[in-house]
């Protein structure tokens, strides 16, 4: 592999919105970027070449799921995650911290890390900053996330503060663990994760701690955990500004199309979310005119496409009537087609934002988007 380990070039800004390119050894990532989620080494119901054809530059893999099945050491023996799943471009892996708290059983949280039982077979595991770095190295991740604790936003402030302080100590240990993996550290990047929930003073402390340690990019963590869009935007009004302007800012686990637009407006560069893929399997499409439930009987004889403005292979080929039939019949092809459209729509939305920022017309773009998508 040739080229830089990691560089971030800003091409244009419009208000707080930014567009740029992250260059890495496995390929370039155009920002603002949306990363489809490939939880268990597959973006569900999609072949990887179809994921790429939607316009995705990078996908996300889940450390928690992959460490349990097929196992990080096994993936390493099989040549790494890219080869295993046939995705040669960049992969960002999360640290496992979020999912171990939301999915596993019998957790025990200590300064050292988290002990838990697998939701698959009850087997006992331990995740620490050092083990998370090791797993992400074994997977061959391109962008490694620091190991953190992500508390519920509605916990008392002193608990949020203590959790954030723990995450900052773990960020330091993640940095050291990542740097110890010589070969991998020479070609991968490490991102830190800001915590502090809805508290501006804690977000500031967290941002300063992370900046002192130094990372290739910075995530805004602890949002999209049930606080609602207004509260999330309230944090995003200040939190990205606390992070270094010359580094990518990644809003984890977000979100709906209007979440993405509002977050880019506030200076976010990267996103991941299961929504387009999960909704695709449930017969819910995203369109420029808002969400569309394909189960609805009104589509039964509609010969139009899911989205009139969409140029994806699904919308140029299949009618709402056909997709309604597939979804009603529980056919796998229904999940395949709505997922492919949804990922295409998300990527078209990102491309639209990148173009609008580059052209200095982002406020016009957001106004047009909202009048169409939100009918406002």
- Residues marked active site are found at 94, 272
Which one of 42, 93, 95, 174 is in contact with a second copy (CB under 8 A)? Answer: 42
Closer by beta carbon to a second copy, 3 or else 71: 71
Question: Bridge-partner residues for 124, per DSSP?
Answer: 117
Least distance from C-beta 92 to a second copy, angstroms? 20
Least distance from C-beta 112 to a second copy, angstroms? 30
Residue 214 CA to residue 179 CA, distance in Å, equals: 12
Instruction: Tell me if 155 contacts a second copy by CB under 8 A.
Output: no
Span near a second copy by CB under 8 A; candidates 70-78, 165-173, 235-243, 346-354: 70-78
**List of E strands, the chain:** 6-14, 17-24, 27-31, 33-36, 59-61, 91-93, 105-109, 114-117, 124-127, 143-145, 189-194, 217-220, 249-251, 270-273, 284-287, 290-293
- Cα dist. 18→171, 358, 362 in Å? 26, 8, 10
- Cβ-based burial of 232 (10 A; exposed 0-12, middle 13-18, buried ≥19): buried
- For residue 181, count other CB atoms closer than 10 A to its CB: 16
Which one of 156, 303, 375, 376 is in contact with a second copy (CB under 8 A)? Answer: 303
Span near a second copy by CB under 8 A; candidates 135-143, 184-192, 230-238, 296-304: 296-304
Span near a second copy by CB under 8 A; candidates 213-221, 226-234, 317-325, 341-349: 317-325
List all residues 6 or more positions away from 223 whose beta carbon is below 8 Å from its beta carbon.
153, 232, 235, 236, 251, 252, 253, 254
Closer by beta carbon to a second copy, 317 or else 363: 317
Closer by beta carbon to a second copy, 122 or else 214: 122
Instruction: Tell me if 80 contacts a second copy by CB under 8 A.
Output: no
Instruction: Tell me if 74 contacts a second copy by CB under 8 A.
Output: yes
Residues that bind a second copy (CB under 8 A): 40-42, 44-47, 69-70, 74, 77-79, 84-86, 281, 300-301, 303, 317-319, 321-322, 325-326, 328-329, 331-333, 335-336
């Amino acid at each position: 592999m040739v080229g830089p380990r990691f560089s971030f070039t800003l091409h244009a800004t419009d208000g707080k919105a930014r567009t740029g390119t992250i260059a890495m050894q496995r390929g370039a990532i155009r920002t603002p970027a949306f990363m489809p989620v490939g939880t268990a080494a597959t973006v569900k119901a999609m072949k990887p070449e179809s994921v790429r054809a939607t316009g995705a530059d990078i996908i996300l893999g889940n450390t928690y799921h992959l460490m349990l099945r097929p196992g990080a050491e096994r993936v390493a023996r099989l040549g790494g995650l890219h080869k295993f799943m046939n995705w040669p471009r960049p992969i960002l892996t999360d640290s496992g911290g979020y999912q171990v708290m939301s999915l596993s059983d019998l957790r025990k949280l200590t300064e050292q890390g988290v002990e838990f039982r697998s939701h698959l077979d009850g087997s006992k595991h331990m995740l620490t900053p050092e083990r998370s770095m090791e797993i992400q190295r074994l997977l061959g991740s391109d962008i490694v996330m620091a190991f953190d604790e992500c508390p519920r936003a509605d916990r008392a402030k002193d608990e949020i503060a203590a959790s954030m302080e723990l995450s900052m100590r773990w960020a330091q240990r993640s940095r050291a663990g990542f740097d110890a993996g010589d070969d991998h550290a020479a070609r991968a990047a490490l991102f830190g994760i800001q915590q502090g929930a809805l508290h501006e003073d804690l977000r500031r402390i967290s941002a300063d701690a992370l900046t002192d340690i130094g990372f290739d990019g910075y995530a805004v963590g602890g949002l999209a955990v049930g606080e609602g869009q207004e509260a999330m935007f309230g944090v995003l009004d200040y939190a990205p500004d606390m992070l270094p302007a010359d580094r990518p800012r990644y809003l984890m686990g977000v979100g709906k199309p209007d979440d993405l637009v509002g977050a880019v407006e506030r200076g976010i560069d990267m996103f991941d979310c299961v929504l387009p893929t999960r909704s695709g399997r449930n017969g819910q499409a995203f369109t420029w005119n808002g969400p569309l439930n394909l189960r609805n009987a009104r589509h039964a004889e509609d010969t139009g496409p899911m989205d009139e403005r969409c140029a994806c292979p699904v919308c140029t080929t299949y009618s709402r009537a056909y997709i309604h039939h597939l979804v009603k019949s529980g056919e796998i092809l229904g999940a395949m087609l709505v997922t492919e459209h949804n990922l295409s729509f998300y990527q078209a939305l990102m491309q639209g934002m990148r173009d609008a920022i580059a052209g200095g017309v982002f406020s016009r773009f957001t106004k047009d988007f909202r009048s169409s998508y939100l009918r406002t």
